[in-house]
Amino acid sequence: MTGHSRQRPLRFVHQGRVVEIDDLPPMTTLLDWLRLDRRLTGTKEGCGEGDCGACTVALGRVKGGRLVYEPANACILLLGQIDGAELVTVEDLAAGGHLHPVQQAMVDHHGSQCGFCTPGFVMSLFTLYQDGCVAADGREAVLTRIAGNLCRCTGYRPIVDAALDACSQPANDRFVTAAAATTAMLADLADETDLFVGDDNSFFAAPASLDALCALTMRHPDATLVGGATDVGLWITKQLRTLPKIIHTGRVSELRRLDQGTDGLAIGAAVTYAEARGALAAVDPDIGVWADRLGSAQVRAAGTIGGNIANGSPIGDSPPLLIALGATLHLRHGGKARSLPLERFFLAYGNQDRAAGEVVTHVTVPRPEAGEHIRAFKIAKRNDQDISSVMGALKIGLDGCRIASARIAFGGLAGIPRRSETVEAALIGMSIDDEAAVAAAVSRIAGDFTPMDDHRASARYRLTVAGNLIRKALMEIATGSRGETRIAHLREAHHAA
Ligand SMILES: Cc1cc2nc3c(=O)[nH]c(=O)nc-3n(C[C@H](O)[C@H](O)[C@H](O)COP(=O)(O)OP(=O)(O)OC[C@H]3O[C@@H](n4cnc5c(N)ncnc54)[C@H](O)[C@@H]3O)c2cc1C
Ligand code: FES
Ligand code: FES
C-alpha cells in the first residue's frame, strides 16, 4: 500500500510465539511454507485442491469472545490469510512424551492408518475436540466434521469410534490451559493497521477497513481479490496461474459483519459459510441442511458467500438460493456504492456486472413474509463435499391455497444461475392443490433453460430433476411437510447441537 502510512507485515501465533513475516511471495500457500520453509512435514499434500484433507491444520481465532479452532486446508490457503490467527499443526499436539487425547484415541481404536490421511484426520478431530462435547450418539457430528478427510483404502469406522471416545468429554488439554494466554496474544495482534507485504508490482495485502480496501483496488484494479481462496487457491495450485497482486478481504471489518435486522439479514462479503450458517438456518431449516452440504468443514470455515457470488460460477450453490430469496447485492467502486437485485449481477457465463477494482461488499436477504414458504435442494452425487449437478431454491407465497407469488431459481441449468420465469408466471394464480395444473405449469421449464451435458449430469437429467424439485417443493408446501432425508438430517443436527 505504497503511500499509506499505517501498514505492517504478516503476524500470527505459532507454537506459543508470534511469527512475523515481511518478505513473502504473495502466492505462498500455508502448506508450502510449512513443508518447504519450516520443514514441518507432518502436514501432508494429497490432492492440492482442497478435497482430501491430508493438509488439514487448525486455526485458532477469537470468535464471539471465545477461542475457536477451525480446520483449514493448508494446500489452498495463502499464508497471508492466517494473519491474526493461531496456527496449530499435527506436530504441535503431542507434548511431554504424551500423545494428545485425540491421538491416543486413534491408537486405542486402531484408527491410525497411513501417513497421508492420518495427520489430517487427527487435526480435524482436534478441532472437534476443542468444540466441546459431542454427544455419545453424535455420530452425525463426527461424520460432518471429517467429511473433508478422505481415506482411499482403509475405512472410517475406527476413526469415528476414536472421535466419539475422545470428543465426548469437555476439552482438557494444554490448548485449553493456554487459552487465556493465547487469547491475549491474539488480541495484541488484532489491530486496525493495513497488512502489506511486497511492493507495487507484487504484494499480499490485507486492508483493515473498507475505505483502505477500495482505495487499494482502485490503485490496483488488476489485483486478485481473495476471500477464503477456496476457488483462487486452485487457480494457483492446479491452473498454475501467476497472481502477483493479492488483496485479502478477511480483515475488513465492514465485510465481516453479519446483521440480523427486522427487515432481513445482511451478510458481509467476507463472512464465511460457517459463520453465516446459524443466521441462514434461522431463515428456513432447509437452508441449514443446505449449508451443511456445502464443501466440507474445512471449506465452510474459509469459503465466503461473497466469493461464491463474485466468482460467477453457474454451479455455485448460494446464488440460486439467494436469488430465490430475493437478495440484493451491494458493491463499491472506489467511493461509489451501488446495489442491484442479485440475479442481475450474472450477465452471461464468466461475465458478471462488476467493474475492475469494484468490490462486493455484502448481500441483503429480505425476511420472508407471512405466507411465504422456502425450499432448497442440492442435487449432487455425494451428500458431502460435492459440486451440485442441480441446485434449486423456491420461495412460494400462498394466499390460502392460491399461489400468490413465486421465485424459483436454479444453478446447473444454464451458463449462469437464473430464475425459471416461465414456470413462475404459469404457477401464479393457480391452486397449489391442483396437481394437474401444477404439473402442466412445471412442464414449461424447458422454455426457461437449455442445460448442457457434462460429466456431472446430462441435460435431460438436469431438466427432469429441476421440474421434479418444483413439484416436490409444492407438494411439501401444500401438505406442510419436509422430505424424509432432510428431516432425519435435521433431527441428527438437533441432537448434535
Ligand atoms: C473442496 C471444495 C469443495 C467445494 N464445494 C463447494 C460447494 O459444495 N458448493 C459451492 O458452491 N462451491 C463449492 N466450492 C467452491 C468454493 O468453495 C466457493 O465458490 C466459495 O464460496 C468461494 O469463496 P471464497 O471466499 O473461498 O472465494 P475466493 O476463492 O477467495 O474468491 C472467488 C472469486 O471471488 C472473487 N472475490 C472474492 N471476494 C470478493 C469480493 N469481496 N469482491 C469481489 N470479488 C471477490 C475472487 O477474486 C475470485 O474471483 C468448493 C471448493 C472446494 C475447494
Ligand atoms: S492436499 Fe488435499 S485437501 Fe489439501
Ligand atoms: S489414505 Fe491413508 S489409509 Fe487410506
User: What tens digit of pLDDT does each residue of 116-138 get?
Assistant: 999 999 999 999 999 987 876 68
Cα-to-centroid distance, 235 and ligand 2 (Å): 14
Cα-to-centroid distance, 288 and ligand 2 (Å): 26
Is a pLDDT exceeding 60 seen at residue 497? Answer: no
Q: How far apart are CA 75 and CA 292, in angstroms?
A: 22
Q: Collapsing DSSP states into helix, strand and coil, what is residue 332?
A: strand
Cα-to-centroid distance, 477 and ligand 3 (Å): 44
Would you say the CB of residue 348 lies under 6 angstroms from ligand 3?
Answer: no
Nearest ligand (C-alpha, residue 122) = 3
pLDDT-based confidence at 342, cuts 50/70/90?
Answer: very high
Would you say the CB of residue 115 lies under 6 angstroms from ligand 3?
Answer: no
Average pLDDT (371-376) is: 96
Is a pLDDT exceeding 60 seen at residue 452? Answer: yes
Name every protein residue with a CB atom under 6 angstroms from any ligand 2 atom. Answer: 45-48, 50-55, 73, 75
In the chain, the percentage of residues whose pLDDT exceeds 70 is 95
Would you say the CB of residue 358 lies under 6 angstroms from ligand 1?
Answer: no
Q: What is the pLDDT of residues 180-232, one digit of tens each?
A: 999 999 999 999 999 999 999 999 999 999 999 999 999 999 999 999 999 99
Max CA pair span of the chain: 72
The whole-number pLDDT of residue 385 equals 86
Nearest ligand (C-alpha, residue 116) = 3
Is a pLDDT exceeding 70 seen at residue 2? Answer: no
Decide if 412 contacts 385 (C-beta within 8 A). no
Nearest CA, atom 3, ligand 2: 50
Tell me the pairing of strands 336-341 and 328-333. antiparallel
12-16, 21-25, 253-257, 381-385: segment of lowest average pLDDT: 381-385
Average pLDDT (283-293) is: 92
Query: pTM here?
Result: 0.95
The whole-number pLDDT of residue 138 equals 86
Average pLDDT (465-482) is: 93
27-31, 166-170, 433-437, 482-486: segment of lowest average pLDDT: 482-486
Would you say the CB of residue 342 lies under 6 angstroms from ligand 3?
Answer: no
The whole-number pLDDT of residue 480 equals 87
Nearest CA, atom 44, ligand 1: 310
Determine the residue of 44, 45, 51, 117 to mutate for testing ligand 3's pocket, defined as the one with the most ligand atoms within 8 A of the Cβ atom: 117
Q: How far apart are CA 295 and CA 366, in angstroms?
A: 25
Give the residue, 265 or 154, on which the prediction is more confident: 265
Q: Which residues lie closer than 8 Å to 71 by C-beta, 6 or more apart?
A: 53, 56, 57, 58, 59, 123, 124, 127, 145, 148, 297, 298, 301
User: Which bin fits 15, alpha (ψ -120 to 50), beta or left (φ > 0)?
Assistant: left
Name which CATH class applies to 8-91+179-248: alpha beta
Under DSSP, the state recorded for 226 is E
For 416, the grid coordinates are 449462469
Q: How far apart are CA 312 and CA 225, in angstroms?
A: 14
- Whether 257-496 and 8-91+179-248 are alike in CATH topology: the answer is no
Q: Which of 184, 163, 162, 247 lies closest to 210, judged by CA?
A: 247
Q: How far apart are CA 290 and CA 273, in angstroms?
A: 11
For 190, the grid coordinates are 488484532
Q: Collapsing DSSP states into helix, strand and coil, what is residue 384?
A: coil
Cα-to-centroid distance, 148 and ligand 2 (Å): 9
Cα-to-centroid distance, 157 and ligand 3 (Å): 13
Q: Which of 144, 135, 122, 143 lies closest to 167, judged by CA?
A: 135
DSSP per position, 133-197: PPPTT-HHHHHHHHTT---SSS-SHHHHHHHHHHTTS---SHHHHTHHHHHHHHHHH--SPEEEE
149-163, 193-207, 336-350, 471-485: segment of lowest average pLDDT: 471-485
Looking at the CA of residue 48, tell me the nearest atom of ligand 2.
1
Nearest ligand (C-alpha, residue 113) = 3
Is a pLDDT exceeding 70 seen at residue 486? Answer: no
Nearest ligand (C-alpha, residue 233) = 1
Tell me the pairing of strands 66-73 and 86-88. unpaired
pLDDT-based confidence at 493, cuts 50/70/90?
Answer: low
The whole-number pLDDT of residue 136 equals 65
Is a pLDDT exceeding 90 seen at residue 477? Answer: yes
Cα-to-centroid distance, 14 and ligand 2 (Å): 21
Would you say the CB of residue 117 lies under 6 angstroms from ligand 3?
Answer: yes
Is a pLDDT exceeding 60 seen at residue 490? Answer: no
Domain assignments of the chain as residue spans, ordered by start: 8-91+179-248, 101-172, 257-496
Fold assignment, 101-172:
DNA polymerase; domain 1 (1.10.150)
Would you say the CB of residue 114 lies under 6 angstroms from ligand 3?
Answer: yes
Cα-to-centroid distance, 170 and ligand 3 (Å): 29
Cα-to-centroid distance, 123 and ligand 3 (Å): 15
Q: 360: how many CB neighbours lie within 10 A of its CB?
A: 25
Cα-to-centroid distance, 78 and ligand 2 (Å): 13
Give the residue, 8 or 6, on which the prediction is more confident: 8
Nearest ligand (C-alpha, residue 121) = 3
Cα-to-centroid distance, 33 and ligand 3 (Å): 24
The alpha carbon torsion through 354, 357, 362, 363 (nearest 10 deg) reads: 0
CATH number of the domain at 257-496, out of 3.40.50.11810, 3.30.390.50, 3.40.50.1220, 2.40.50.140?
A: 3.30.390.50
Looking at the CA of residue 232, tell me the nearest atom of ligand 1.
29
Determine the residue of 45, 114, 122, 123 to mutate for testing ligand 3's pocket, defined as the one with the most ligand atoms within 8 A of the Cβ atom: 114
